[in-house]
Structure 1
C-alpha cells in the first residue's frame, strides 16, 4: 500500500511539472514571490490544471526601506 501511495504522489508531481512547463512558468524568468508561488502551486496542483483550475497566489507588496 505504501509503495502504491508513493507512486501516486510521484505521478502527481510529474504531471504538475509537465503542467508548469506547458504554461511556460520556468521560462518566464520571474523570481519574485508571486512567480515562485505560482510555480510551486502549479506543481502541487498539476493534475487539477487539466480540468480547468488555474491556481495563482497574490503576494503583498514588500515595503521599501526609508531613505
Structure 2
C-alpha cells in the first residue's frame, strides 16, 4: 500500500465526518420518527459530505409495498 491510499482514506473519513455534521445541523438525528425515507435521507446526506454546504440537499422517498388484506 502506498502513501496515496492512506491520504485517500483520510480524505474519505473527513468527507464522511463533514456529512455527519451536516445531517446533525439539519436535525436529522433529533426526531423519534424512523422510517425508510428518513434513514435514506440521513445516509445520502452523510455521503454527500461537503456538497451539503454548496447547495446539495439530498432527500429520499421510500414507497414500501403495503401487505394485502
TM-score (norm 1): 0.90
Query: 1:4-19, aligned counterparts within 5 Å?
Result: 4-19=7-22
**What is the count of residue pairs matched by the alignment?**
66
Higher helix share: 2
CA RMSD, 1 decimal: 1.1
* Gap runs ≥5 in structure 2: none
TM-score normalised over the length of structure 2: 0.88
Specify every segment of 5 or more residues in structure 1 that has no aligned partner in the other structure, as ranges: none
> Structure 1: which 4+ aligned runs deviate by more than 3 Å?
none
Q: Contact 1:41/1:56 (CA < 8 Å) preserved in 2?
A: yes
2:49 paired residue among 46, 52, 58: 46
